[in-house]
Structure 1
Amino acid sequence: MNERRPQDPTAPAVFVKTYGCQMNVRDSEAVLSRFVARGYRIARSEEEADVILLNTCSVRDMAEDKACGKMDSLRARKRENPGLVLGFLGCMAQRRGGELLQEFPEVDLVLGTQKLHEAPDRVERIRAARAPSSASSPEEPPRIVDIGAEAGSQNQVRDHLPFTRKASAFVSIMQGCNMRCAFCIVPVTRGPERARPMEEIEKEVRSLAEQGVREVTLLGQIVNLYGRRELPSRQGRSPFVQLLERVCSIPGIARVRFTSPHPIGFREDLIAALRDLPPLCEHVHLPAQSGSDRILRAMGRGYTRSRYLELVDRIRSALPEATLTTDLIVGFPGEEEEDFAQTRKLVESVQFDQAFIFRYSPRPGTSAAARADSIGEEEKLRRNHDLLALQDEIALRKAKQIVNREVEILVEGESRKSAHRFQGRTRGNHLVLVRAEERWRGELLPVRIVETTGFTFYAEPVLVGEHEEAPLPTPPPLGR
């Protein structure tokens, strides 16, 4: 793998803080890569940064509140250092636009989702206006807002940070969404579906493989609908399955994942691909959102409870060992106790390995936000805790079934919580911790699971090369 190249300590430093989904994580990396190409260095913290950009999320109120709270905390830093450039990027920037400049006088830049690639140009313009000129005084720096649409913007999320040693990478294959679910702001913030050319995606993945990346995750708002308007189906295979076949054939790519799909686009050709393409991991994230037909209709999801359960059965028939995860919303407007009970029954029936459970948050500009039959926050919180408790019980029971089994993990690097451990993931996307050994970084490592919290697994390596590894010391008590 390529090693990280030392950065020029005298170069201006940029810091990007990311909120929200994997697509925002990928966008932030693409933005940083463009700054690095301009000669900037990546700041290790806000304190050493000359430019601080917040890449924002609008899916829920809480995500926006966090970004606004962070910008509030930067006001003092801007007063101490008037040359500091502050900016909002991404979905909240797209939704709120110029009003963010009014709310935050310290902010210099607001760039929407289709303009992220222009961040270095806009920052350079702001910094140049502040620099002393031959006229002895700098001009008044501009405050820039750009949330316009741009044709081909989906093709701009292609650059990765150079000379970083990583085992896995996100690859954006499309932008936008045409579904218009009643609760979702994404069609407003990301625009309509736009697919990248298949050849460009393949070229990007080949380049990543040459840099030592072993696993790629293909990203899209509804990833399995990739190319449905721009590209033809061939021999009964959708454009997305054709793309999967091409990516899975790239030398060096040992694992391929994708997120997030929609149940209505999950056809037999995709199930067959999961079964037949060896690099394609046995992990399916399948958002259900609700177990009530009445609420699913109100949400505009396009499927019924029974169709969802039939799809789960088809996936598990083809992939008995598949890990199945989901998204669920509680407290959608008009959700009665019986509707919530149906969601509980869906969770009990499917036995998800993991579920991301959210309280409904009204988003301005969505059809659900205009409904008068909202659910009180206290009741939403009760349902949220109740469903979480049920899912935690299921997850722990399923996780214990993996203890003492041998599995393969891709070692990603240092654990976020323990300096003496590395973390990796199974093909089923279970997070596994092993002791830190530099030679394992970026490698596929066979391990034996020895303990679990239900969400995190502790393991010891087995049979590395021709020598059996010594067992790990007893892991620390869970929760430490």
Structure 2
Amino acid sequence: MKLVTNSLKILQEEDKENLDVARISEDEKSTASRKLYIESYGCQMNFADSEIVASIMRQNDFATTSKIEEAELILLNTCAIRENAEQKVRHRLQHLIPFKNKRKNVKIGILGCMAERLKTKLLEEEKIVDMVVGPDAYRDLPNLINEVEEGHKAVNVFLSREETYADITPIRLDSNGVTAFISIMRGCDNMCSFCVVPYTRGRERSRDAHSIVKEATDLFNQGYKEVTLLGQNVDSYKWKANEDETSIVTFANLLEMVAQINPDLRVRFSTSHPKDITDEVLYTIKKYDNVCKYIHLPAQSGSSRILELMNRTYDREWYMARIDRIREILGEECGISQDMIAGFCTETEEDHQETLSLLDYVKYDYGYMFAYSERPNTPAAKKLKDDVPNEVKSRRLAEIIARQREHSFERNQLSLGKVHKVLVEGFSKRSENDLSGRNDQNKMVIFPREHFKKGDYVNVLVTDCSSGTLKGHAVIE
């Protein structure tokens, strides 16, 4: 469990993913003469984007390094979803001032959503920043670096309606060699009133389905055993091979195409939008054993009044009906997780109680919970007053977290005495005598190492649990 200012992620205690910041862990084996150091902040989409950036830079004589002191180019791939996320980047930049003062040749660039939101203002506010590059401008990085090396500040925050980077093979950074992300689309058209994503990542566009299948196939051939298909709203994925409407590939079609690559390739996806997830997708999950029975379905609130103010385009009853349908088709064992915001504009105690009662109704396996953080220029910031006091937000968030912790433990107890197929991702954080990996429901499972190794599928009998982790031992079936 990991506590972050104004937010908490209830997740597996042994989870190796860090959705707040990650640095590359190994030096890239390359003959490139120049060194690049990347830090990624925020969501999985940013991590995937950093792998695209590394690929573009490799083609321009830059190799990644895990040692910042070796780098002549430092890139921070940023998040703007909450104020806290931006403050982390600003604090990091302050720590880099002495480093840059010692090494005048080092260049620093800000990439991603924070770059797109603040644009040239970043150059004015953070004097050590040499370039600002938005999520759709990564192909222009070599040109921007040339500008910087000629003594100029460089900016490209152009948002594209076509860019998907479909032709670029990512360089897997901080990889365990077992699991990988694949971006299937970019941008978002939903316009939730609290969210900056449509303004920092642009309009929604889907990637060529054949390029996605090829990337997944290549990963499997390289030894990877699991891929996660990424998008702001994967259920609205739609790609046309030509103008013929019969050639449309939906998300359910894509999910099936990837599942058919090999039964030993596990398939996950994130994130789903409650208004778009279809029965066709649910039946596709049910049809293929290698498509994980786990769905991340953000609710954001349990109050229909608040959901309308958020422009989520569904109400409480619609959301609950989708949960019922998931459980009807995929069974009670299907893992479901949530996003929830405490203290949105005008939220009353009654609205908050409705959120708690939604938690009780669904009993999520885990969740990502945050206190509302107003983002400049969003519809909520322009039209609604952020009128819930911080102490009330904090108290409501704490109550949501406590309720989720209870449900996480209750859901994990259902796994006791059952055998789960676990994909080994590596050693347990606490001991190299134990291995850790995920089951179908995306829960971390810890068990004795014995003769097993990373990348193995292991049947594990669960004998103990906490609110965040399952524990057990391998069995032969």
Displacement of 1:233 after TM fit?
7.1
Please say if 1:99 is aligned against 2:121: yes
Tell me which of 205, 209, 231 is aligned to 2:220: 209
Which whole-Å CA distance do the structure 1 matches of 2:344 and 2:460 have between them? 42
Tell me the C-alpha RMSD between the 2 structures. 2.5
Letter in 2 for 1:457: L
Give the alignment partner of residue 409 of structure 2, picking from 384, 390, 396: 396
Superposition pairs of residues 45-444 of structure 1, within 5 angstroms: 45-123=67-145, 126=148, 129=149, 140-156=150-166, 158-161=168-171, 166-227=177-238, 239-251=250-262, 253-320=264-331, 321-370=333-382, 371-372=384-385, 374-416=387-429, 418-436=431-449, 440-444=453-457
Q: Specify the code of the residue in structure 2 equivalent to 1:368.
A: A
Change (3 A) 1:143 1:355: same
Of 268-277 and 117-126, the range deviating more from structure 2: 117-126
Unaligned residue ranges in structure 1 (runs of 5+): 130-139, 465-480
TM-score, normalising length: structure 2: 0.88
* Consecutive unaligned residues in structure 2, runs of 5 or more: 1-25
Q: Tell me the alpha carbon deviations over residues 411-447 of structure 1, each in whole angstroms, 9 at most, x when there is no partner.
A: 1224455555432110100012334568521121112
**Partner SS, residue 407 of structure 1:** strand
Contact 1:90 1:116 in 2 (8 A): no
| Residue 463 in structure 1 maps to residue 468 in structure 2 | no
Cα distance, 1:104–1:114 mapped onto 2, change above 3 Å: same
Secondary structure in 2 aligned to 1:26? helix
The question of whether the paired residues in 2 share the 8 Å contact of 1:233 and 1:239 is answered with: no
The residue identity in structure 2 corresponding to 1:433 is I
Q: Distance in 2 between matches of 1:377 and 1:54?
A: 30
The answer to whether the 8 A contact 1:409-1:424 is kept is yes
- 3-state SS in 1 of match to 2:317: helix
- State the Cα deviation string for residues 37-89 of structure 1 (Å, max 9, x = none): 44433222323322211100011000011011111110110001111111110
Distance in 2 between the 1:252 and 1:33 partners? 29
Separation of aligned partners in 2, 1:456 and 1:61: 30
Q: What does the per-residue CA deviation read over 1:161-217, in whole Å, with 9 as the maximum and x for residues that have no partner?
A: 269661111110110111111111100000001111111111111111111111111
Q: Is the 8 A contact 2:263 2:290 kept in 1?
A: no
Q: SS in structure 1 opposite 2:164? A: helix
Q: Distance in 2 between matches of 1:438 and 1:121?
A: 50
Cα-to-partner distance string for 1:90-109 (whole Å, 9 max, x where unaligned):
00000001111111111111
Letter in 1 for 2:312: R
C-alpha change, 1:116 and 1:252, in structure 2 (3 Å) is farther
- Opposite residue 49 of structure 2, the aligned amino acid is D
Q: Quick check: 203-212 or 154-163, which moved more?
A: 154-163
Compared CA separation, residues 333 and 220, structure 1 to 2 (3 A): same
The change in CA–CA distance for 1:6 and 1:144 in structure 2 (over 3 A counts) is closer
Instruction: Return 313-322 or 223-232, whichever deviates more.
Output: 223-232
One-letter identity of the residue aligned with 2:441 = G
Which piece of structure 1 moves more, 249-258 or 141-150?
A: 249-258
The whole-number CA distance in structure 2 between the counterparts of 1:286 and 1:210 is 31
Aligned residues: 448
Secondary structure at 2:80's aligned position in 1? coil
**Residues 166, 211 of structure 2: 8 Å contact kept:** no
Percentage identity across aligned positions?
A: 34
Look at both structures and tell me which one has the larger radius of gyration over its CA atoms.
1
Q: In 2, Cα distance between the equivalents of 1:162 and 1:69?
A: 27
1:284–1:324 CA contact under 8 A, matched in 2? yes
Distance 1:156 1:229 in 2: 14
8 Å CA contact retained: 1:214, 1:252 = no
Aligned equivalents of 1:63, 1:17: Cα separation in 2: 13
**Alpha-carbon distance in structure 2 between the residues aligned to 1:118 and 1:407:** 46
SS at match of 1:324: strand
1:469 matched residue in structure 2: none
Aligned residue for 2:203, secondary structure, equals coil
Of 56-65 and 439-448, the range deviating more from structure 2:
439-448
Distance in 2 between residues matched to 1:291 and 1:165, nearest whole Å: 37
**Which one-letter code corresponds to 1:451 in the other structure?**
D
Aligned partners of 1:6 and 1:110: how far apart in 2?
25
